[in-house]
Amino acid sequence: EDKVVQSPLSLVVHEGDTVTLNCSYEVTNFRSLLWYKQEKKAPTFLFMLTSSGIEKKSGRLSSILDKKELSSILNITATQTGDSAIYLCAVKETSGSRLTFGEGTQLTVNP
Amino acid sequence: GAVVSQHPSWVICKSGTSVKIECRSLDFQATTMFWYRQFPKQSLMLMATSNEGSKATYEQGVEKDKFLINHASLTLSTLTVTSAHPEDSSFYICSAHVGARTDTQYFGPGTRLTVL
Whole-angstrom distance, CA of residue B34 vs CA of residue B95: 5
Which A-chain residues 17-46 have CB contacts (< 8 A) with chain B? Answer: 31-32, 34, 36, 41-45
Q: What is the pLDDT of residue B55?
A: 87
- Cβ contacts of B99 within 8 Å, gap of 6 or more: B28, B29, B30, B31
Is pLDDT above 70 for A108?
A: yes
Q: What is the pLDDT of residues B70-110, one digit of tens each?
A: 988 889 999 999 999 999 999 999 998 766 556 778 899 99
Q: What is the pLDDT of residues A17-69, one digit of tens each?
A: 999 999 999 988 899 999 999 998 888 999 999 989 999 999 999 999 999 99
Asked if the Cβ–Cβ distance from A48 to B44 is below 8 Å, we say no
Closest residue of chain A to B45, computed from CA coordinates: A101
Which residue, among B8, B34, B36, B14, has the nearest Cα to B116 in the 3D structure? Answer: B14
* A43: chain B residues, CB-CB within 8 Å: 44, 93, 107
Interface test with B, best of A3, A4, A36, A99 (most B CBs within 10 A): A99
Is pLDDT above 90 for A110?
A: yes
Which residue, among A109, A104, A81, has the nearest Cα to A22 in the 3D structure? Answer: A104
Q: Taking all residues of chain A, what is their mean pLDDT, rounded to a whole number?
A: 93
| Antiparallel, parallel or unpaired: β A105-110 and B10-13 | unpaired
* Least Cα separation, residue B10 to chain A (angstroms): 11
B49, B102, B107 ranked by CB distance to A43: nearest: B107
Asked if the Cβ–Cβ distance from A42 to B97 is below 8 Å, we say no
